[in-house]
Homo-oligomer: A and B are copies of this chain.
Amino acid sequence: MSGQGWETIRAEVMRRIRVRDWPPGALIPNEAALATEFGCARATMSRALRDLAQAGVLERRRRAGTRVALLPVRPATFQIGITRTEVEALGHVHAHRLLVQSRDRTPPPDVASHFGGIGGLLYLETLHLADDSPWLHEVRWLNAGLLPDPAPDFGAVSVNEWLVTHLAYTSGEIAFSAAPASAHEAAVLGVASGAALFVVERATVLAAVPVTLARLAHAPGYRMQTVL
């Protein structure tokens, strides 16, 4: 072997799997045996195997040992940041316009259920621009009880960014889908009604308290990409 370290060991294990030295479904030697063979500590061997298990290449179970996955399920990871930095990373100038901000709007049933009947919901609609072209239309419901007393000016800092900087470290769900542009979305984004939009839906919670529910509709051409 060329280098030292757990990544080198991982690469060698991966090689044996690729050349079918250890075919799919096979039971591979246990950590202790492999550590002896590779001349490393068991902790180092464990680190390499754990990493491959997380990558979906190995399946590990106590007592049953470690097997090469029959149908590898690979994790694809996307970095979810704030819209401004995402736009800027693509080399564009970011701007945003607060289209609607209202405390009086009645939430539809699915929104109400996420907030579990909590009152005081703030409705916000924001348009994000990249180089002055419509980029993303954001519709968001927000638990107003979590806002500081002089409420932030969401015309200056976008809700998106304010939430990440002030109510970070939430948990929740995220979903991607494709949807036809509604008449309103079409008008705001400057596209034809029914155009295919890439939609991101987020529901976030902070320690069991519902925080926000958002629908982000991207202008056509948007791609979410990652290496596998």
Contact = CB atoms under 8 A, between A and B. Distances in A.
A169 B226 contact: no
A164 B227 contact: no
Contacts of A82: 71
A14 interface: yes
Contacts of A196: 178-180, 194-197
A165 interface: yes
Given A17-B169, A73-B80, A76-B80, A174 B228 contact: yes
B79 A78 contact: no
A115 interface: no
A75 B79 CA distance: 5
Contacts of A206: 18
A199 interface: yes
Contacts of A225: 173-176
B179 A176 contact: no
Contacts of A85: 71, 73
Interface residues of A, number: 56
A198 interface: yes
A11 to B, nearest CB: 12
Interface in A131-186: 161, 164-165, 168-180
A73 B79 contact: yes
Interface in A171-228: 171-180, 194-199, 202, 204, 206-207, 218, 220, 222-228
Contact of A224 (B70, B177, B202): B177
B79 A164 contact: no
A213 to B, nearest CB: 13
Contact of A72 (B56, B74, B169, B175): B169
B220 A178 contact: yes
Interface in A55-105: 56-57, 69-82, 85
Instruction: Name which of A56, A77, A176 has the most chain B CB atoms within 10 A of its CB.
Output: A176
A223 B172 contact: no
Given A75-B78, A196-B196, 4 more contacts: A18-B207, A73-B79, A74-B80, A176-B224
